[in-house]
Amino acid sequence: MAAFGTEDLRIPLPSGGSLAASLARPDGAADGSGLPGVVVLHEIWGLNDDMRRIAARFADNGYAAVAPDLYSDGNKRLCLSRTLLDMTFTKGRRSLAAIEAVRAWLGDRPEVDGTRIGVIGFCMGGGFALLFGTRGSVGAAGVNYGSVPKDRSRLTGVCPVVASYGAEDRQFAPHAQRLEDHLTALGVPHDVKLYDGVGHSFWSQDAAPSWMKRFPGMTMHYGEEQAEDAWARTLSFFAEHLA
């Protein structure tokens, strides 16, 4: 693995605002080095140390990885409410447009090959990653315990997908089979896996507040064995489809 460097910055939006983001990339990356890129989409908690850790691990594996804070274009509480309303009532159009701005910014960087960019998301970000994969601007999508629409037509044109869910996640575990069925019917290359012994947010070491873990159906704890297997599958899948 290569060493990496990180940088906090802001990415301009077409609306005139901007998003805070953390950029991680291999040390020594030079203009024209043609790095593959990945956009890392956070859980409902926003950009935190877990998402920074995940972006850094991608950089350690040769990617330029950017993790935007989707709540940073204005008041955080209002941005959170706006994002949830966007997911519920407008199929995420506003959020997907912001993610596209982040992808375009990453693809325009001189050290990045803009034709080799993927997206990965977790929980809320996993749902966004799946829908973003239908826009034709990424070559692979990582969907981790993310929501899957019941209407298969919403995934028409989706890129290859690698997905991971926890079997003890009563809310989202059924989405794994739904995603498997949709992608099989659509003829899309995919790797969907349901992990025994873990629930929601099993990739995250310290993301969820303790009060959230008391909610019915929200078994939440880090599963090192399952997370490492999910990492291996994701990196292999991205290497294949972003080659």
Q: Which one has a higher pLDDT value, 73 or 49?
A: 49
pLDDT per position as a tens digit, 28-42: 788 888 999 999 999
pLDDT per position as a tens digit, 119-166: 999 999 999 999 999 999 999 999 999 999 999 999 999 999 999 999
Phi-psi region of 36 (alpha: psi -120 to 50; beta: other; left: phi over 0): beta
Q: Which one has a higher pLDDT value, 172 or 86?
A: 172
Q: What is this structure's pTM?
A: 0.91
pLDDT beyond 70 at 115 = yes
Q: Report domain 4-241's class.
A: alpha beta
Averaged pLDDT score across all residues of the chain: 89
Per the DSSP assignment, residues forming a β-bridge with 65 are 24, 38
- Write down the domain spans for the chain: 4-241
